[in-house]
Structures are given as structure tokens and as C-alpha cells.
Amino acid sequence: MKRLLSMAKAFALLAVLVIFAAGAGLAEENLFAYGDFEGKWKQIDAKATSPEGWTPRANNYDLIGPAGDIKYEGATALHVVTSAKSGAQVLNSVGVPVQEGTTYIVGYWVYVTDGGIRMSVVDNTEPRFYPVFNKHHFATDFEPGEWQYHEIEFVPPKGCKQLRLSLVQSTEREVKRTAAYFDKIVVRVK
């Protein structure tokens, strides 16, 4: 009986290990931990409550906060209303370590209700005075009022050790107030 019990324990332990390993595998697939907007939120000022892993740029927004009514997955999405400034960064993510020469995909879901917005992949390698890679990537052609999936393919050039994601006002040269929601932002190796 004792032996049976210890065997049962061993199987239970094995099952836990298998589940844990599968979970860890899935976690490795997404390199960015702050793209689902299901984490903590911090009040920055009267207009901004910022999601964990992201920093707003002062004066470039009219609203940043969680949305529970319009979301793609889970309980919450990010709601952003920009102030009308050309090419202004609204929200920057923490750095994501990358390896030069590897192809990465930044995938995200966006729901635009007014204007246009772009997601940029920016070199975040220190020192940032002389970024190895500061060319922004644009995602355009948003359809207002529905969730759309977009992808940005990115190969960090020589010397690039870290990227960050940046939400930037307007899709082109148009200066306009933008209202948009973001959810399920994933960074992965292609």
C-alpha cells in the first residue's frame, strides 16, 4: 500500500513537471511580458494610468488607461487617445533583449476609432545618444472600429542588443488626434 502511494506521488510529481515544462515552453515563445495589458496599472497624472512595462511621454496624450469594454483578449486592453502632435511618441515599452541577425516578429492587435497610429520598433541599446538602429517601422491602413492584426518583421543589425516598442501619433505625416486600443502585443523569433 505504501509503495502504491509513493508511486502515485511520483506520477503526480511527473504530471506537474510535464505541465510546468509545457508552460515554460509557451512562455519562451513570447519575449515581451507586457503586451496583454492584464498586469498592474499605475496612475501617472490626471490623464494617464499607465500599464506595467510602459512609460508615457508627457504632453503627448489626452488619455492613457485600461479598457474593459473594448478588448481583444482577457479582461483588459490599452486605450490611448493622443494629443495632436506630429510624430510624437505616446508610450514606450521597457527594453526587450534581442540578438543581432535573428529575425523577430512583433505582432499586435489594434482597434482604431479615430485617426491613425503607428507601432515602432526602435533600437534601445545603450548608449542611446548614438542608436545603432533608430529607423521606425510603420503599420498603416487601419480600418476604424474593428480589431485588426498587424505584424512587423525586424532583424536587429550589428551592435543592436535591445529593442523597445513605441506607440507613435499618426500613421503618416497627418497631424490628428487619435483614439485607439491595443491588445495582445507579442514579440517572438520568426
Residue with CB nearest Ca ion? 74
Contacts of Ca ion in 24-53 (CB under 5 A): 36-37
Give the DSSP letter of residue 3.
Answer: H
Binding of Ca ion at residue 183 (CB under 5 A)?
Answer: yes
Total residues in contact with Ca ion, by rule CB under 5 A? 5
CB atoms within 10 A of CB 150: 17
Distance of closest approach, residue 78 Cβ to Ca ion, in angstroms: 8
Region of 46-54, 70-78, 111-119, 129-137 interacting with Ca ion (CB under 5 A): 70-78
Distance of closest approach, residue 33 Cβ to Ca ion, in angstroms: 13
Residue 29's region, left for phi above 0, alpha for psi from -120 to 50, else beta, is: alpha
Q: CA of 181: how far to CAs of 20, 38, 91, 105, 125, in Å? A: 32, 14, 13, 20, 28
Distance CA(65)–CA(49), nearest Å, equals 5
Binding-residue pattern over the window 74 to 103 for Ca ion, x denoting contact by CB under 5 A: x-----------------------------
Region of 52-60, 69-77, 107-115, 131-139 interacting with Ca ion (CB under 5 A): 69-77
Among 178, 181, 183, smallest CA distance to 116 is for 178
Which positions touch Ca ion (CB under 5 A)?
Answer: 36-37, 73-74, 183
